[in-house]
């Protein structure tokens, strides 16, 4: 009798070929990387949005410039105080620069120009910036320091 082929499958035998899930781990890794990148972008975005500024109404990027202006005002005021104690009268910004009392080589920084006002033994050093264009959300505060070495915002 010829060989008989059965068309009956045993319940233990499966018609599909099961291969090991080799692409599954790649997809999990890709999804993990995408989730981590998304979370990182959200943290970065909200961190920059909530970054503190040094003065109200100023942009966070102005913090560096305003810190430099404050440092310049403090340096000029300290030099003016020393010049006043040594010579008995106030000096202009040019005199402080030429006498090497200050290390600044220019009388402005990032749009702020400096001036010294003196009366008797009291002085005020101001740093003024031109106003921002109309409709701009950024403002440029004018700063001053007096002989008591207190930096404040002025109009």
Q: What is the DSSP string of 102-118?
A: S--SSSEETTEEEEEEE
113 in Cβ contact with 72 (< 8 Å): no
Q: Which residues of the chain have pLDDT under 70?
A: 1-23, 48-57
pLDDT of residue 58: 72
pLDDT one-digit tens code per residue, 60-97 = 778 888 889 999 999 999 999 999 999 888 999 999 98
pLDDT of residue 126: 95
């Amino acid at each position: 009798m010829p060989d008989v082929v059965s068309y009956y499958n045993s319940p233990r035998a499966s018609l599909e070929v099961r291969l090991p899930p080799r692409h599954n781990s790649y997809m999990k890794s890709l999804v993990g990387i995408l989730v981590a990148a998304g979370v990182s972008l959200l943290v970065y975005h909200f961190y920059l949005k909530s970054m503190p500024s040094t003065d109200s109404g100023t942009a966070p990027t102005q913090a560096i410039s305003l810190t430099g202006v404050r440092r310049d005002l403090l340096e000029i005021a300290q030099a003016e105080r020393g010049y006043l104690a040594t010579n008995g009268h106030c000096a202009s910004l040019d005199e402080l620069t030429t006498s090497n009392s200050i290390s600044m080589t220019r009388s402005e920084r990032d749009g702020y120009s400096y001036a010294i006002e003196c009366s008797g033994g009291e002085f005020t050093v101001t740093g003024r910036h031109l106003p921002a264009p109309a409709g701009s959300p950024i403002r440029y505060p004018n700063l001053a320091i007096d002989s008591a070495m207190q930096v404040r915002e002025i109009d």
